[in-house]
Structure 1
Amino acid sequence: MQLRLISWFFIALNFMEYIGSQHASRVRRQGRMHPNVSQGCQGGCATCSDYNGCLSCKPRLFFVLERIGMKQIGVCLSSCPSGYYGTRYPDINKCAKCKADCDTCFTRNFCTKCKSGFYLYSGKCLEKCPDGLEANNHTMECANIVHCEASEWSPWSPCTKKGKTCGFKRGNEVRVREIVQHPSARGNPCPATSESRKCMVQRKRCQKEGKERQTKHATLT
């Protein structure tokens, strides 16, 4: 009877040791699969690490690595920061860097704004604009050269002399036009917007001058 009790004791002890070893093995496997993974992540992280920050993001957020000194930390953002562009994949949304001369971009090969000292042209950043284009230092873009455009000439004005249209035979007449498109920096300059020429008319007395002579003649008589 006593021998039977001792046998049952050893059986139970071996069983408890087996259960403990299985639990320890499971813990070790979990540690290898997810090293330093924290529970209850914040800031849009789906999974995170105390050392590396976000490891994956919640749906629709973009994953990007931010450098802090010699270390890179994963963060999750609603949109990519300046200097990055976003790409959506079935399993993850990532932010990737634009080219070095590009400040903002749509894709790596299509820039939307260049860094200082570069001009934007067709999605590329150039130090000098191609022939036939000019550099706009305000928008920092390469633009087409714009030439001046003027409207048609107006009709010639009445022939005048010293602001009068009577009391003379030779005078001047003028015509004008408007600038409808001002030129760019390298465009053709604008032409004159007014011109005058000599004119001749049949001499006639001014109405006021005629009345003064009639009044003077009546007074003398």
Structure 2
Amino acid sequence: MQLQLISIVLILHCMEYTNCQHHGSRHRLHKQGSGVSSQGCQGGCQTCSVYNGCLTCKPKLFIHFIHDGMRQIGVCLASCPNGFYGTRSPDRNDCIKCGSECDSCFNRNFCLRCRAGSYLHKGKCMESCPDGLMPSDTKKECVPACPADCDSCQNSDTCTRCAPGHFLLHGQCHHVCPDEFEPNDSMECIPTVHCEVGEWSEWGPCSRSGKTCGFKWGEETRTRKVLQNPSPMGSPCPATSETRECLVKRRRCKPKGQRRGEKKKRFNLQEKENAESRRERKREREKETINLEDSESRNKTEHRRRRDQSRDAGTV
């Protein structure tokens, strides 16, 4: 009997508790739904509330919830932000959070980009890549190992050092350097440099055995400068001088003794002219001195004459 009474009390208490819970839930729903409206909503909202922002979105837009403490605020977006992917249904379109290792994703099970420290491989984010693959810090993906003939590489497309017997060019390894390239000591292909020369000079004087007289036929020469020396495999430099036959002026070459005599004669003649010039300058200086003395003498004579005239006038 006592056991039955206890059971009845528990049932009544439970019913009362249930009613209270139901009443509280309805009160909270009423409070949360307060202010629900379809008028004046902005940012793509179809319905909204003052407390929770967007509640439903216009067609084709995704609803995304931002947490503000215990409250979540809805916003309507044309596409979901990083770390979320979009799902569509007849009722509404939602932004769903990606897995913790994904920076962006196609769905919960397929990542498109990984967070720092992980590398993407077949939609999964991994801390280390499977065998035969290597991590790419630029792509943040697991990529194939170095290309063939590479000793080391930056990624699956770019070598930094080639295997022995190969030459590096623009991140690729070659058995033989391509046209217009040649290998250097560092096993790299560098551009081939060809020789460059300047323009020809004018033809020199026509002479034979160093003489410009006494013969009918002689030679004249012209030259040009090298502007760019070639690399080992570059085109060599062409000739930088060339000679052709020419006609020497028809005049008799004078003997050496005669040439020395003529040279001495010219020297003596020059010395004679210089001596005559010195004598002429000396005569000019003497003439100037005489003229100066005559002028001073005339001035003195005139001064005495005027003084005598003045004295005579005073006596009278």
TM-score range, shorter chain: 0.5 to 0.7
Long gaps (5+) in structure 2:
1-29, 151-155, 168-175, 177-182, 184-316
Instruction: Note the 1:32-181 alignment, pairs <5 A.
Output: 34-38=33-37, 39-149=39-149
Tell me, in whole angstroms, the C-alpha distance in 1 between the residues paired with 2:163 and 2:65. Answer: 52
Tell me, in whole angstroms, the C-alpha distance in 1 between the residues paired with 2:32 and 2:66. Answer: 24
CA contact under 8 A between 2:44 and 2:76: conserved in structure 1? yes
More strand by share: 1
Tell me, in whole angstroms, the C-alpha distance in 2 between the residues paired with 1:64 and 1:190. Answer: 57
> Structure 1, residues 121-178: CA drift from partner, whole Å, max 9, x if none?
000100111111111111111011133359xxxxxxxxxxxxxxxxxxxxxxxxxxxx
Distance 1:95 1:184, change over 3 A: farther
- TM-score, normalised to structure 2, is 0.39
Among all aligned residue pairs of Structure 1 and Structure 2, give the percentage whose two residues are the same amino acid. 50
> Structure 1, residues 50-97: CA drift from partner, whole Å, max 9, x if none?
101111000100011012344311110011011100011011011000
Following TM superposition, the consecutive aligned residue runs of length 4 or more in structure 1 with deviations greater than 4 angstroms are: 31-34, 181-185
| 2:165 counterpart letter in structure 1 | P
- TM-score, normalised to structure 1, is 0.54
More helix by share: 2
Q: Does residue 1:192 correspond to 2:144, yes or no? A: no
> Structure 1, residues 102-137: CA drift from partner, whole Å, max 9, x if none?
001011111000011110100010011111111111
Distance 1:102 1:182, change over 3 A: closer
Secondary structure in 2 aligned to 1:37? coil
| 1:111 counterpart letter in structure 2 | C
Aligned residues: 136
Tell me, in whole angstroms, the C-alpha distance in 2 between the residues paired with 1:192 and 1:51. Answer: 70
Long gaps (5+) in structure 1:
1-30, 151-180, 196-221
Tell me, in whole angstroms, the C-alpha distance in 2 between the residues paired with 1:89 and 1:61. Answer: 11
Larger relative contact order, structure 1 or 2 (CA cutoff 8 Å, min sep 6) = 1
Distance 1:125 1:33, change over 3 A: closer
> Structure 1, residues 8-45: CA drift from partner, whole Å, max 9, x if none?
xxxxxxxxxxxxxxxxxxxxxxx689533133211111
